Amino acid sequence: MPSPRPARPWLEPLRTAAWLSPERVAAWCTILLVTEVLITLFLALWQHGAFRPVPNPPSSDFVSFYAAGKLALAGTPALAYDRTAHWAAEQAATWAGAGYQYFFYPPVFLLLCAPLAALPYFVAYTLFQVATLAPFLLAMRAVLPARGWQWLAPVLAFPAVFWTVGLGQNAFLTAALFAGFTLLLDRRPVGAGVMLGLLSYKPHFGMLVPVALIAGGRRRAFAAAAATVAGLVALSLLLFGWSTWAAYLHAFAGSGEVYQSGAIDFAGIETPFGAARLLGVPPATAYALQATVTAAMMALTALVWRRSASYPMRCAVLPAATLLAVPLALLYDKLLLLLAIGWLLRAADDDGFLPWERLVLLVVWPASVASWPVGTAWHIPLGLAATVAVLALCLRRAWHASAIHPARAAPARTLTQTVGATP
């Protein structure tokens, strides 16, 4: 019987990407990191009038958190959801005429915003970024299989890191809590549930987690998460009152108009809904598309968490699918995609890379860098394509693991075994 015809020789280096060593990845990402730092410093200096006067300097997203905290400290937390009062507080913290930054977070987030607002603005900004970046890096180090310090440059060079720092957003905290949840779930389910409950300031990012926990039979984590959320809500009611929750619910009900109108740049909304609006699809059709994708992500998550033999792949699929399931995920929220890549790399360290994995992952970094300018200039949803590509890799590897180890499909390999297998 004749042997199979070999693949085209010129494709083999791309298919295996064996040349993509950890040393080369670290070197290239260091170059990208230095470039991003220099660009960020230039933009910061330019926007603050270092080169020429700027009539209306832009404000960061952090000023929205800070202004809401100031209103809470003043005894008027419900005014955080009054656009006029909130904008006045933002301008008081920065400068008159600063562009408005929306605040649609539930009152549990005021529990963090209020202490930060007790500090001077720039001190609070710096403290918030440093104090949330540190646990995020620690969590990524625990997820990744890398040794030494080679992992740090690729993580810091991921574009969502600079969107988070530049805008003063809370994505480091979000990704750290999500990562902590995945790291603790197998060994300390109650701790994992607490991590998940603390994420209630962005409740939509927990959309798929109940599906995963129910499909995976993780009742203790589910109960701990529910208890944590209930405790945070009760504390916010005690400190801020029901009127603040009523104001939040009223503001939240109108938030859809903001996002579908283009007040938030569609090129920065890297979800099926955002991609559809970027391409000019009417809001009703965009919502229908998003609902269809959300249902599909729920089904995929349930299937993987019920049947996958690989715990790392369960943890990789969940954040990647979440970014497609939610209608709103912005550029900085793509740190969850980096978490998915981290778990994918852990699985590859155990079982070896599959064909094309290295090359696809290599492309994700420049695609993420270019997603906003390409989306703005040519209306191409490049960021969404990167998420879809990573999720496809995760699903293929999950299927591959189940096909090779069908006896391990249930229960999944425990995290204790996974961590112990990697020095």
How is residue 3 annotated by DSSP? P
Q: Which of 98, 398, 82, 382 is nearest to 254 (CA)?
A: 82
> Which of 297, 263, 262, 268 minimizes the C-alpha distance to 281?
262
Residue 240 is assigned to a structural domain of this protein: no
Question: How far is the C-alpha of 79 from the C-alpha of 95, rounded, in Å?
Answer: 19
Position 417 confidence tier, pLDDT thresholds 50, 70, 90 = very low
Residue 383 is assigned to a structural domain of this protein: yes
Task: Give me the domain span that covers residue 376.
Answer: 263-411
Name which of 294, 332, 109 is nearest 208 in CA terms.
294
What span, in angstroms and rounded, lies between the C-alpha atoms of 196 and 83? 30
Return the residue matching tokens 């070197």.
Answer: 27
Evaluate whether residue 244 is within a structural domain.
no
Q: What residues have CB less than 8 Å from 376, skipping those under 6 apart? A: 265, 267
Torsion angles phi and psi, residue 53, rounded to 5: -60, 140
Closest CA relative to residue 265, chosen from 257, 256, 273, 274? 274
In the predicted model, what is the mean pLDDT of residues 99-125? 97
Asked if the structure places residue 272 within a domain, the reply is yes
Question: What is the tens place of the pLDDT at every residue in 71-94?
Answer: 999 999 999 999 999 999 999 998
Number of domains the chain contains: 1
Q: What number is the average pLDDT over the span 393-397?
A: 94
Residue 179 contacts residue 136 (beta carbons within 8 Å) = yes
Examine the pLDDT at 209 and tell me if it is beyond 80. yes
In a domain, 258, yes or no: no
The predicted model gives 16-44 an average pLDDT of: 92
User: What pLDDT does residue 44 have?
Assistant: 82
| Percentage, residues of the chain above pLDDT 90 | 80
Which pLDDT score, from 0 to 100, does residue 45 have? 84
Q: How many CB atoms lie within 10 A of CB 203?
A: 13
Stretch 135-152: mean pLDDT = 92
Contacts of 333 (CB under 8 A, 6+ apart): 160, 171, 174, 205, 270, 323
Q: Is 309 left (phi over 0), alpha (psi -120 to 50) or beta?
A: alpha
In this structure, is residue 225 part of a structural domain? no
Q: Is the pLDDT of residue 29 over 50?
A: yes
Q: Which residues contact 37 (CB under 8 A, 6 or more apart)?
A: none
Chain segment 232-272, per-residue pLDDT in tens: 999 999 999 999 999 999 999 999 999 999 999 999 999 99
Give a yes or no: residue 288 inside a domain: yes
Confidence category of residue 403, pLDDT binned at 50, 70, 90: low
DSSP string across 113-131: HHHHHTS-HHHHHHHHHHH
Whole-model pTM above 0.85?
yes
Within-domain flag for 326: yes
Say if CB 406 and CB 304 are below 8 A apart: no
Q: Is 80 exceeded by the pLDDT of residue 191?
A: yes
Tokens of 393: 């890799």
Asked if residue 262 lies in contact with residue 97, where contact means CB atoms within 8 angstroms, the answer is no
